[in-house]
Amino acid sequence: MANRPLSPHLQIWKWGPHMAVSILHRITGDGMALVGLAVLLWWLGAMAGGEESYATFAEVMGSPLGMVVLVGLSWAFFTHMMSGLRHFVLDIGAGYELDTNKFWSVAAPIIAILLTALFWAVILLK
């Protein structure tokens, strides 16, 4: 066989925050599509099913496991939104400087965590 060059793959690329944020964007999108759709359909079915069905839904979603699911969905939403905004800025041609790209790759998930905490603080403290 000829010594042909290998295509770049994950063992060759140096991992950076921009790669992690990009992969996290895909994971959160899939998570919201699968888990979020399941919760939405259950909620709609519970509303259509009457008071008993909705009480069961509210009890499960109010339990610690249900709260983990709801907080996880809101975290996925804010993470996906922040990395989507980062990608939008890149798509318009800005933010390609290495320092700027690295800064927003690190800042996007941190801002998403802060937005999730703020969101749940507003909900729980009312």
Instruction: Specify the pTM.
Output: 0.86
63 sits in which H/E element: none
Instruction: State yes or no: 80 annotated in a binding site.
Output: yes
Question: Is residue 1 pLDDT above 60, yes or no?
Answer: no
Question: Is residue 14 pLDDT above 60, yes or no?
Answer: yes
Rounded mean pLDDT of 1-23?
Answer: 75
Give me the pLDDT at residue 45, please: 97
Give me the pLDDT at residue 15, please: 80
Is 29 within a domain? yes
Is 6 within a domain? no
Is 3 within a domain? no
Nearest to 24 by CA among 108, 119, 98: 108
Mean pLDDT score of the chain: 92
Residues 108 and 99 sit within 8 Å (Cβ to Cβ): no
If one counts the domains in the chain, the total is: 1
Domain containing 95: what range?
A: 18-124
Residues 26 and 80 sit within 8 Å (Cβ to Cβ): no
Higher pLDDT, 57 or 16: 57
Is 88 within a domain? yes
